[in-house]
């Protein structure tokens, strides 16, 4: 069973930046698809960005140009750099992964493993 551990959440003012990290306990395959999702109170879980093991990325429209997803093969860590944060970005952010798959997906059903989440709060 793969465990995903997120870190890096916190509270910032609008316009600020945060970097989220996701460290899998191990990689079940050299090919993988990983993503960040978020869920605000009273709202459905939303796919934010995905990244696969060949470096393909996909972003939801509301974060394009502000967020950057990347992978570090040396540290085996997935990152989400979040710049120009807005109050609407306030949510619990979750890391998700599936192995043996390449591509792009912001659909929760594409992922088998989930972290417990890290809170991001952006104040105006």
Confidence of residue 30 (pLDDT cuts 50, 70, 90): confident
Average pLDDT estimate for 6-15: 97
CA distance 6 to 87: 21
* pLDDT of 29 over the 90 cut: no
Average pLDDT estimate for 49-68: 97
CA distance 87 to 12: 9
Residues 81, 19: contact at Cβ < 8 Å?
yes
Can you give the pLDDT at residue 104? 96
Average pLDDT estimate for 35-55: 96
Residue whose entry in the numeric block shows the structure tokens 């060949």: 54
- Cα 99 → chain centroid: 16
pLDDT in tens, 76-85: 899 999 999 9
The C-alpha angle with vertex 105 and arms to 102 and 109, in degrees rounded to 5, equals: 105
Range of weakest confidence among 8-12, 92-96, 100-104: 100-104
CA distance 48 to 37: 5
Can you give the pLDDT at residue 75? 78
């Amino acid at each position: 069973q793969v465990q995903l551990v997120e870190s890096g959440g916190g509270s910032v003012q609008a316009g600020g930046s945060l970097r989220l990290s996701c460290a899998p306990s191990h990689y079940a395959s050299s090919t993988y698809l990983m993503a960040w999702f978020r869920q605000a109170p009273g709202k459905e879980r939303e796919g934010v960005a995905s990244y696969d093991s060949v470096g393909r990325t996909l972003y939801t429209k509301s974060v394009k140009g502000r967020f950057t997803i990347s992978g570090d093969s040396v540290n085996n860590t997935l990152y989400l750099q979040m710049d120009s944060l807005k109050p609407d970005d306030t949510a619990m952010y979750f890391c998700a992964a599936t192995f043996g798959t390449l591509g792009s997906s912001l659909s929760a059903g594409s992922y088998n493993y989930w972290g417990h989440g890290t809170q991001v709060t952006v104040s105006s």
